[in-house]
Structure 1
Amino acid sequence: MNGGDAATSQGSGPPPPLEWRFSQVFGERTAGEEVQEVDIISAIEFNKSGDHLATGDRGGRVVLFERTDAKDHGGSRRDLERADYAVKHPEFRYKTEFQSHEPEFDYLKSLEIEEKINKIRWCQPANGALFLLSTNDKTIKFWKVQEKKIKKVCDMNVDPSKAVGNGCLTSSSSPSQSVANGLYADGTHNYLSNDFSFPPGGFPSLHLPVVTSQEASIVARCRRVYTHAHDYHINSISNSSDGETFISADDLRVNLWNLGISNQSFNIVDVKPANMEDLTEVITSAEFHPIHCNVLAYSSSKGSIRLIDLRQSALCDTHSKLFEEPEAPGSRSFFTEIIASISDIKFSKDGRYILSRDYMTLKLWDINMDSGPVATYQVHEHLRPKLCDLYENDSIFDKFECCLSGDGSRVATGSYSNLFRVFGVAPGITEATTLEASKNPMRRQVQTPSRPSRSLSSITRVVRRGSESPGSDGNGNSFDFTTKLLHLAWHPTENSVACAAANSLYMYYA
């Protein structure tokens, strides 16, 4: 099914297909360089304005980038010479990084808690400072990032003849020549000793210390730590549109927090059965509505999405709407439930649609129509004949993220071989573009209608010892299960996409 039914009201006619180009790369590997596990990017998020970008990695670090292109620095000769290039896409530069989480050990449960950053969410800025939430499996932290001017004393209140360097007192490596009893080694008075007394005749000269402000330094400070609220691994955090609350979700519960209160939260969703043997599905992702602070959605491992309204009851045991696609008769197999599990959901900017990603497809849902998705996009249909091999090497459990453009006309998600796909969802659009996370994304670009790719008779054979051989898909493009593009984000106002391939952050624009 193509995206013709997904009305986006973005003008009278459908937008033309986008021509994607490489923009920037941060942390690109050199040939033969081995990627360290702690450097692999595990979260990406633009802030609301799109002027800042944050990434988190498996080593618990958060890296911030800021926009620096002609939009903010217009008028320079370099920008004027590159006007066409500068206007088309944003340019970013490294801003700062900080250690958000450290590895921990839960002694009560004898469990190691990884420092890996699962999600990052920006909060509303204030007074020129940036605020964001980051979480690992158990602990959420609230960070404030701002520029601080470092003040430094350049002249000390001592006689220059008794000072060396930057106003430091002369010293000797010999203990016998150390300062003692208020005297220097040469017999003169030590005016700074604890046994202070005015010298005979008073001070010959008095030098007041001078404080100078050095260049600004960016400082990240942890303002609050939200912990001890989840028994299972946190998979989602999401800010409310009211700017005061956020939710966190694990496999069985969704908790509501106030940003200003870190020692208590309110449990709003609990799907844990009285007997754990009766457990049939778990929560996989949760997201607040972008406009209405009382509405949120969460997805499950059974491929369903539930919309809940916080005004209906304190504990949202019942949903206000349920979105799930009916199972086609005779299509059930051992892998049906596994590939139906939704790994990520996102609201469109206006809150009208929900985009969901399961293992094989992207689905677009209209929140006013719960009979089924208004559009389905096949991401890598050519892998369907090899689900058994994907199951054996655990690739079938990979959790791919999805994103929407700011105007709601396009959606994107990742795949294997560091590929990602962009689909048009505006009326009449059949755009489906495949790009590779590299400096030459066009070499694997394919413009085809958004329909399932034809299956191959021969696809990558998974070797049990873990090394997969490259294969090729229905369009003749090679692919490799060992490289995968799980995380990506779309700029909120422009056609620019940031995506992570291992430890590298690639930026593209159209």
Structure 2
Amino acid sequence: MAYYDSAPSVPLLWNFSQVLGQQLPNEPLQNDDIITTIAFDKLGDHLAVGDRGGRVVIFGRDDRKKNVSSNRRDLEQRDFASQHPEFRYKTEFQSHEPEFDYLKNVEIEEKINKVRWWMTHDSLQFILSTNDKTIKLWKVKEHKVKQVIEMAPPLCSENMLLAESSFVPGLETKSAANGYRLEWIEKMPQNFLPPQDVDSEIGGMEDPFRAKRQKVYAYAHSFNINSISNNSDYETFVSADDLRINLWNLEVSDQCFNIIDMKPSNMEDLTEVITSAEFHPLHCNLLAYSSSQGLIRLSDLRHSAICDHASRIFQHGESYGSKSFFTEITSSISDIKFLNDGQHLISRNYMNMKLWDMRKESSPVAIFKIHEHLRPKLPELYNNDCIFDKFECCFSGDGLHFATGSYSNILRIFSPGSGREEGIKLEIRGNFNREINTEEINQRLT
């Protein structure tokens, strides 16, 4: 599917891939290479990708550097023409390894559940990553390297000794002041060295990006971690599992504070679980979390140390109206996101995506129907477990467009006030007007 922008001659192509890189036609899909989570930083200049093998891959936006121009006419034209984003590979690191919990006799997968950008500053980035039990803070730093592209003619051994004694000391002072590090070839052949050989040897330099583990936050969750969220104070963050939400200080890794505990004294009385948690983007004291009952609770950390009682509860009429066995399952919220303005948030359950106003908790501002055509097929979806699939949601930087996924590689994009209730349906491959049926879902799962 091609999506066109203001420049009709240059189409924007949408491609779907479960793994990074190109896969050969006959190459089997490796389970460790499957992508499990992605996250952009606040400016959209960096992208972090986690996979089932415990790796985190980082990409940086590269098209802005290519389009830099001081010409006023070029700058004005670029203001009106949308540029296609281009991201290049920066680095990757092994975030988590498989572990074994000997007390509970269970294996802990290395699969990355969530990644969150803590902050970015020029060539320095901080990233939080987590698997089912352990959260880690990583520092990724770019080391600027000045590379010699050509060196001709090569110096003899006597000239190299003279250069080392007269040129290097002054150069070290200059390089230290500018923050650069000069790489030299240790051994030079006596005979003439062709330029392509020099280029090939210099091209094998070390990766200028380095990832270093800063902190490890572990042994605080009895159940699998489903979400982590950074606070706007840049000092704390939360981690949530099915029944508890813990508050961490970035500098303290050996202890945390339990702020929400939904575990009943008798597990047979359990009626709901926590599905997602998110800090408010502007107010560091506000925390929202969703549940399997279709509720979104907003808690104020200033009211009490234990936030058992929510300040506000966002609940749609369909959540507490006439219920059936299937509607109780489909009303479970799988993801929530605060918009950048701090006045709205979006939520996603199996059937719909909803836009909420923080000042009105009785009903959402807009409801975007995703799987309404599957409502008659709910019994069949329950039999093949498709009804328990979880979908996430996201929004554009300006907060005017919302997107979420569906089956058969379909992406749904909505814009409130556009007059299109069905939104834009984009199928990454094939005919995007084709409807999805239950038989196709069964075939894909079996």
Return the letter of the residue paired with 1:229. A
> 1:390-469 counterparts in 2 under 5 A?
390-426=381-417, 428=419, 430=421, 432-438=423-429, 443-444=431-432, 459-461=437-439, 468-469=442-443
Q: In the TM superposition, what is the alpha-carbon distance from 1:430 to its structure 2 partner?
A: 4.0
1:468 Cα deviation (Å)? 3.2
Letter in 1 for 2:223: Y
> Per the alignment, do residues 337 and 32 of structure 1 end up closer, same or farther by CA in structure 2, a change over 3 Å counting?
farther
Q: Write out per-residue CA displacement over residues 156-187 of structure 1, whole angstroms, 9 at most, x where no aligned residue.
A: xxxx9xxxxxxxxxxxxxxxxxxxxxxxxxxx
Q: Is the 8 A contact 1:389 1:461 kept in 2?
A: no
User: Is 1:213 aligned to 2:182, yes or no?
Assistant: yes
Q: 1:295 and 1:219, CA in 2 relative to 1: closer, same or farther beyond 3 A?
A: same
Deviation (angstroms), 1:411: 0.8
Instruction: Give the one of 51, 56, 64 matched to 1:57.
Output: 51
Higher RCO (C-alpha under 8 Å, 6+ residues apart): 1
- Residue in 1 that maps onto 2:260: 269
- The one-letter amino acid of 2:363's match is G
Gaps of 5+ in 2: 147-156, 158-163, 173-180, 184-204
In terms of Rg, which structure is larger? 1
2:49 alignment partner, SS class:
strand
Among 361, 366, 369, the alignment partner of 1:370 is: 361
Aligned partner letter, 1:357: R
CA RMSD of aligned residues (A): 3.4
CA contact (8 A) 2:368 2:421 kept: no
Residue 72 of structure 1: CA displacement? 5.4
Answer whether contact 2:12 2:84 (CA < 8 A) is retained. Answer: no
**For residues 328 and 130 of structure 1, do their structure 2 counterparts lie closer, same or farther at Cα, with a shift above 3 Å needed?**
closer
The residue number in structure 2 matching 1:290 is: 281
8 Å CA contact 2:319–2:331 kept in 1: the answer is no
1:402-446 CA distance string (max 9 Å, x none): 0111222111100111111001124756460111234x7xx4169
For residues 436 and 32 of structure 1, what CA distance do their matches in structure 2 show? 24
Q: Is the 8 A contact 2:7 2:81 kept in 1?
A: no
- 1: CA distance between counterparts of 2:56 and 2:15? 19
For residues 147 and 71 of structure 1, the distance between their equivalents in structure 2, rounded to whole angstroms, comes to 16
2:242 alignment partner in structure 1: 251
> 2:109 corresponds to which residue?
114
Deviation at 1:323, TM superposition (A): 0.8
2:65 paired with 1:74: no
2-side partners of 1:414 and 1:328: how far apart? 22
Give the conservation status (yes or no) of the 8 Å contact 1:364–1:373: yes
Return 5+ residue gaps in structure 1 as ranges.
1-15, 152-159, 161-206, 447-452, 470-479, 483-510
Supply the distance in 2 between the matched residues of 1:55 and 1:127 (Cα, whole angstroms). 20
Per the TM alignment, residue 367 of structure 1 is displaced from its structure 2 partner at its CA by 1.1
- Asked if the contact 2:56–2:94 (Cα under 8 Å) also holds between the matched residues in 1, the reply is yes
Contact 1:420 1:436 in 2 (8 A): yes
Which one-letter code corresponds to 1:461 in the other structure?
E
Contact 2:292–2:333 (CA<8 Å) still a contact in 1?
Answer: yes
In structure 2, distance between residues paired with 1:83 and 1:355: 31
TM-score (norm 1): 0.69
Assess, with a 3 A threshold, how the Cα gap between structure 1 residues 243 and 328 changes in structure 2: closer, same or farther. Answer: closer
- TM-superposed deviation, 1:393: 2.2
| Separation in 2, partners of 1:102, 1:437 | 33
Shift of 1:17: 12
In the other structure, the counterpart of 1:189 is none
1:316 equivalent in structure 2? 307
* Equivalent residue, structure 2, for 1:173: none
Look up the SS of the partner of 1:461 in the other structure.
helix
